[in-house]
Amino acid sequence: MHGPATSARIGQPVTRKEDRRFVTGEGHYADDFNFENQTYAIMVRSPHAHANIVSIDASEALAVPGVLAVLTGADFIADGLLPVPNKTFSMHPAEIPLVNTDGTPAFNVPDYPMPADKARFVGEPLVMVIAESIAAAKDGADLVHIEYEPLPCVTFTVDAADLDAPRVRDENTSNVCIDAVIGEPDPTEESFRNAAHIAKVKTWIPRVTGSPMEPRGAVGTYDPKTGQYTVYTSSGSTLRLRRDLSLVLNVPEPHVRLVIKDVGGNFGTRGAIFAEQPLVAWAAKRVGRPVKWTSERSELLLSDYQGRDLAVEAELALDKDGTFLAMRGSNVGNLGSHTGNFSMVQKGVEIMSSIYRMPSAFFRVRAVLSHTAPTRPYRSSGRPEVMYVMERLIDIAAKQGGFDRAELRLRNLVSQNELPYKNPFGLVYDSGDYIGVMHRTLKLADWEGFPARKAEARTRGKYRGMGLANYVDTATGIPREKARITVHPDGTTDLIIGTISNGQGHETSFAQLVHDWLSVPFEKVKLITGDTDIVDVGGGAHSGRGMRLGSIVIWEAVNRIIEKGKQVVGLLLQKDAAAIKFADGDFFADGNQVMSLIDVATAMNSRTDLPQEFRGPLAGECDQTIMEAGFPYGSHACEVEIDIELGTVEIVRHTAIDDVGRAVNPLIIHGQTHGGIAQGVGQALLEQVYYDASNGQMLAGSFMDYAMPRADMLPFYTTDISEIPSTTHPLGIRPAGEGGTTPALGVVINAIVDALSEFGVEHMEMPATPERIWRAIHGKPQRSRMVPDTVEQDFSLA
C-alpha cells in the first residue's frame, strides 16, 4: 500500500481539524449544555476534614424563594441508589500485581457520592440544593444547617500509614489498604553488603491537582416515560463512566445515556466518575426537570481528584566503578479518602529502576487512606514520582562516588542488544535505543558547552545548573477499544470510536490514519465519539492508550473494509477476490485499476444484485484490546539560573527527546511534550495542594494560593522525537503524551541541586520555592509543607 501523496499522511505535522471551532468560540463544553426549564444545583461541602454528620436541617433553605429541593446522602440511600465501586488496580497482564504481605486482599470500599454518615475531607459534598437559579441555590445553600461532630483527622501520607492514626474507614483496622513487597530481598541485601557506594534519598512528592481549565460540570435529565437518564458532561471516558453511572443509579446500562462533546482538559484527574455526575441525574428524577451543575474553581481545588503525594525512602548500591548493583526502599502513596485507584503505587514501583540495568531490587509498597480529597492518576500516574527518585539517586551517587553524571547514566543504561529486558520487578521492556537517545539529548542540549554557559551566567551574578534525567513510561491501555469505519459513496468516512479526546487532537490524528490507509480525503474523515447512543465499547485516553489502542482498532477496521471491497469487486467483475489488490484508494485486478473504494461504496449502496451481506454501507469494525505493554522512554536535560539572593529560579533551557515508536502527528506530539513539561515544572517549582496536617484544612483553595505555571516563567523548549518502533505494537506505536512530565520533576530538581552544589546542597524537596532554595543555601532549617509556621520534620518509612 503506497497511500495518498498528501501532506496529511501518517508522520506529517498536520494542523488540527478541530481547531476551527475552538478558535471561533464554537467549542462545546459541559457548561455549554442548556435545556429548557433547567434547574441549577449547588453543593454544600464539608468544612471539616473528618466529622460525624449529626443532623441536617434544610427547612430554612427550602423556604428560600426559588429553592426546589434539598437532597442529602440519606435521601440518596433511601432512593435505593448505590455507592461508586472502585477498581483499585490495573489488571493488565503486563503489570506487576501487588499482593498484601499477609495474604489478605487489599482493602477496598465503594464511596457514596454524598455520604450520609461522615465527612471524610474538606470539600466533600454532603448536601445538594436545587433551585430555579444558581443565585437562589446559593442562597439556599447558605441556610442549610449541618450539625457536625468533628473527629480527629490525618492528612500527611506518612502519618496516615501509622497504625494508630485516626481512621478514614471504620471497616478497616488502619488506613493501610495495601502493604506489599516487590522484588527479591536476598540478592538485593547481598548486593548492598558488597556495595562500594550507597546513595540514599528520602523524599515526599507533594500532592498537586490536575486543574484542567474547564471546570467540572454536568447536566442530568430523566424521562419518566422510558426510565431513561441522560447525563451531559465532560470526562476522560465515556463507556466506563456510563457503566459506573448505571451502577450508582442502580439501573441497567442502557437506561443511562452519556453525552460528551468537547473536554477542556483531563490529565487523568478527570478520568473517573465524579460525585456530581450521578447526583444531577438522580436530582433530575427527583425534581422532574433537568438539573445543571457547574463547579467554581475554589470548589475544584477542594474536590477535584488530585494527584501524586508519595513518600519514598530509597537506596541505590553501586560498585566501585559505578555499576548499579541493586536498589531497595519503601514507598507510601496517599489515596486520600477513597480507595479509588492504586495506580500511583503500582505503576510507580514496578519501574523504580527506570531503564537502567539493575540486577536486583526490593521495595515495600503501601497505599494509605487519609482525610484528604481522593487521589487518582495524574499525568503519567506514579511514574514521574519514581523517575524523580531514581534520577536523584543517580546524581547523589555521582557526587558521592566522584562520577560524571552523564557517564554514570550511560554506563548503566540497558543497551539495545539487551532488549527485551526484564527489570528487577518483573516488567519486560520491549525495545528502544536508550543509550543512543541519551547521546542525542546530550548533543542537542549541548552538555559539553555547559561549563562555558555556567561561567557566563556567573558574570551576570546568576548560578547556573544543568540536570539530566532519563525515563520510561508504561503504556498498557485497558479496557478494550472499538472502531467502526463507514465509507460513504460521497467519500465521507465516519469513524466511530470509544476513546475520547481531551485535547489530544483525535479528530486530526485518527483522520490521518484513515486517510493514509484508505486514501479517502483527509477532510472527509469525520470522528464520532462521546455519545453512548452511538459508541458502545471503549475507554479513555489514559495511559497513552488513545493512539496506541486506537490505531490498532482503526487499522483492523480498515483492513476489514478493504477485504470486503475486494470481495465486492470480485463479485461484480467475476474475479478471484484473493487476487485483487488495494492501493491508493483503488482496487486492482491483473495489475489494472478496476474500481475505486468509492465505486465499491456506491455499488454496495445501490446495486440490488449483490448478495445481502454486501449490500448497505461499506463498513468495517474492530473491537479488541492489547495485552502487551509499550514503553515510551526518553532523555531530557534542563538548565536553570538561580538568583541566590532571593532564591528565584529561571528555567533557561529545557531539552527533550522522546521515543514514541512511531509519530503519527509530530505537531501534536511536540505540543503534548510542551504541556507535559510545564506541568512537571509546575510541580517542581510551584504547585502544592497544601493540607494543614494540624486540622485538615486545605490552604491553597483558589488560584490566589494554588500557583499555576504561567507563560512568563517558562522558556521555549527544545523537543525532538525518536522513532524506534515498539515491538509490542503492530504499527510500532509506543505512544506519546506523557514524555514531557515523566522526567520533568527529576530533571528540574537535578538542575537546581547542580546550581547550588557549591553551597553544599545535596538535595531539594518540591516545590522548590524561592524560600526553600534560600534556606538551603544558608543551611537554615526548612519550613514544613504540612503545618504552617513550623519546621519540616524528618520522617521514617521503616
Partner 1 sequence: MHDFNYHRAKTTAEAVALLENEDAKAIAGGMSLLPTLKLRLARYADLVDLKPISELSGISRNDNSITIGAMTRHAVVAASDVVQEAIPALSVLAGGIGDPLVRNRGTIGGSIANADPAADYPSSVLGLNATVITHTREIEGEEFFQGLFETALNPGEIITAVRFPIPKRAGYFKFPHPASRFCLVGVFVAQTETGVRVAVTGAAPSVFRFTAAEQALATNFSAAALEGVTLEPEGLNSDIHASAEYRAHVVEVLTRRATERALSA
Partner 2 sequence: MPRVTMTVNGVARSAEVENRTLLVQFLRDHLRLTGTHVGCDTTQCGACVVHLDGVGVKSCTVLAVACEGSTVTTIEGLADGDHLHPMQEAFHQNHGLQCGFCTPGMIMSAVDMVRRNGYDLDEHTIRKQLDGNICRCTGYHNIVLAIIAGAAAMRPE
Note whether 686 and 708 are within 8 A (CB): yes
Out of partner 2, partner 1, none, what residue 138 binds, judged by CB under 5 to 8 A for its kind, is: partner 1
Peptide bond into 743 cis (omega under 30): no
Instruction: Quickly tell me which residue has 472502585 as its cell.
Output: 86
Query: What percent helix, strand, coil does the chain show, rounded to 5?
Result: 30, 25, 45
CB of 748 to partner 1, least distance (A): 15
Would you call 373 exposed, middle or buried from its count of C-beta atoms within 10 A (0-12, 13-18, 19+)? buried
Out of partner 1, partner 2, none, what residue 212 binds, judged by CB under 5 to 8 A for its kind, is: partner 2
Nearest-angstrom CA–CA distance, 483 and 503: 19
Out of partner 1, partner 2, none, what residue 142 binds, judged by CB under 5 to 8 A for its kind, is: partner 1
- Positive or negative, the CA dihedral 768, 774, 779, 780 is negative
CB nearer partner 1, residue 429 or residue 690? 690
CB of 236 to partner 2, least distance (A): 11
CB of 672 to partner 2, least distance (A): 8
**Number of helical (H) and strand (E) elements in the chain, helices listed first:** 20, 28
H, E, C per residue of 575-627: CCHHHCEEECCEEEECCEEEEEHHHHHHHHHHCCCCCHHHCCCEEEEEEECCC
And the C-alpha cell for 476? Answer: 498498557
CB of 535 to partner 1, least distance (A): 38
Out of partner 2, partner 1, none, what residue 331 binds, judged by CB under 5 to 8 A for its kind, is: none
CB nearer partner 2, residue 211 or residue 726? 211
Out of partner 1, partner 2, none, what residue 477 binds, judged by CB under 5 to 8 A for its kind, is: none
CB nearer partner 2, residue 66 or residue 150? 66
- Positive or negative, the CA dihedral 392, 394, 397, 401 is negative
State residue 445 phi and psi, 5-degree precision: -85, 0
CB of 46 to partner 1, least distance (A): 18
Q: What is the dihedral of CA 131, 137, 140, 144, to 10 degrees?
A: 100
Contacts of 308 (CB under 8 A, 6+ apart): 205, 206, 207, 208, 344, 375, 378, 384, 385, 683
CB nearer partner 1, residue 142 or residue 448? 142
Residues that bind partner 1 (CB under 8 A): 135, 138-139, 142, 298, 645-646, 686, 688, 690, 699-700, 703-708, 769-771, 774-775, 783, 788-789
Contacts of 695 (CB under 8 A, 6+ apart): 49, 153
Instruction: Quickly tell me which residue has 442502580 as its cell.
Output: 250
Amino acid sitting at position 426:
G
User: Which pairing describes strands 360-369 and 421-422: parallel, antiparallel, or unpaired?
Assistant: unpaired
CB of 775 to partner 2, least distance (A): 27
The single-letter DSSP state of residue 29 is: -
Residues that bind partner 2 (CB under 8 A): 15-16, 18-29, 31-32, 34, 135, 210-215, 262-267, 296-298, 502-505, 667-668, 670-672, 674-679, 702-704, 708-712, 714, 716-717, 740
Out of partner 2, partner 1, none, what residue 267 binds, judged by CB under 5 to 8 A for its kind, is: partner 2
CB of 143 to partner 1, least distance (A): 13
CB nearer partner 2, residue 707 or residue 731? 707
Out of partner 2, partner 1, none, what residue 686 binds, judged by CB under 5 to 8 A for its kind, is: partner 1
Out of partner 2, partner 1, none, what residue 440 binds, judged by CB under 5 to 8 A for its kind, is: none
Strand partners, 220: 231, 291
**Orientation of helix 545-573 relative to helix 597-606, angle to 10°:** 70
CB nearer partner 1, residue 382 or residue 682? 682
Nearest-angstrom CA–CA distance, 469 and 744: 8
Note whether 108 and 177 are within 8 A (CB): yes
CB nearer partner 1, residue 355 or residue 685? 685
CB nearer partner 2, residue 548 or residue 670? 670
Contacts of 262 (CB under 8 A, 6+ apart): 21, 22, 27, 28, 29, 234
Alpha helices in 648-734 (DSSP H): 666-685
Cα of 442 vs its chain's centroid, Å: 28
The single-letter DSSP state of residue 105 is: P
Out of partner 2, partner 1, none, what residue 91 binds, judged by CB under 5 to 8 A for its kind, is: none
Out of partner 2, partner 1, none, what residue 504 binds, judged by CB under 5 to 8 A for its kind, is: partner 2
Of 423, 327, 410, 409, which Cα lies nearest the Cα of 631?
Answer: 423
Out of partner 1, partner 2, none, what residue 717 binds, judged by CB under 5 to 8 A for its kind, is: partner 2
Out of partner 1, partner 2, none, what residue 783 binds, judged by CB under 5 to 8 A for its kind, is: partner 1
Out of partner 1, partner 2, none, what residue 789 binds, judged by CB under 5 to 8 A for its kind, is: partner 1
Out of partner 1, partner 2, none, what residue 502 binds, judged by CB under 5 to 8 A for its kind, is: partner 2
CB nearer partner 1, residue 5 or residue 711? 711
Kindly provide the residue ranges of all beta strands, DSSP E only, lying in 240-337, ordered along the sequence. 256-260, 291-294, 306-318, 324-336
CB nearer partner 1, residue 181 or residue 644? 644
CB nearer partner 2, residue 585 or residue 680? 680
Note whether 660 and 723 are within 8 A (CB): yes
Out of partner 2, partner 1, none, what residue 490 binds, judged by CB under 5 to 8 A for its kind, is: none
CB of 700 to partner 1, least distance (A): 7
Instruction: Quickly tell me which residue has 453525552 as its cell.
Output: 259
User: Which pairing describes strands 463-472 and 51-57: parallel, antiparallel, or unpaired?
Assistant: unpaired
Of 485, 467, 517, 470, which Cα lies nearest the Cα of 685?
Answer: 467
User: Which pairing describes strands 39-45 and 291-294: parallel, antiparallel, or unpaired?
Assistant: parallel
Nearest-angstrom CA–CA distance, 451 and 455: 6
Of 749, 19, 18, 10, which Cα lies nearest the Cα of 385?
Answer: 749
Out of partner 2, partner 1, none, what residue 18 binds, judged by CB under 5 to 8 A for its kind, is: partner 2
CB of 684 to partner 1, least distance (A): 13
CB of 354 to partner 1, least distance (A): 30
Nearest-angstrom CA–CA distance, 773 and 347: 31
Would you call 392 exposed, middle or buried from its count of C-beta atoms within 10 A (0-12, 13-18, 19+)? buried
CB of 421 to partner 2, least distance (A): 31
CB of 688 to partner 2, least distance (A): 16
CB of 139 to partner 1, least distance (A): 8
CB nearer partner 1, residue 147 or residue 705? 705
CB of 30 to partner 2, least distance (A): 10
CB of 11 to partner 2, least distance (A): 16
CB nearer partner 1, residue 298 or residue 492? 298
CB nearer partner 1, residue 350 or residue 687? 687
CB nearer partner 1, residue 57 or residue 705? 705
CB of 69 to partner 1, least distance (A): 22
CB nearer partner 2, residue 28 or residue 524? 28
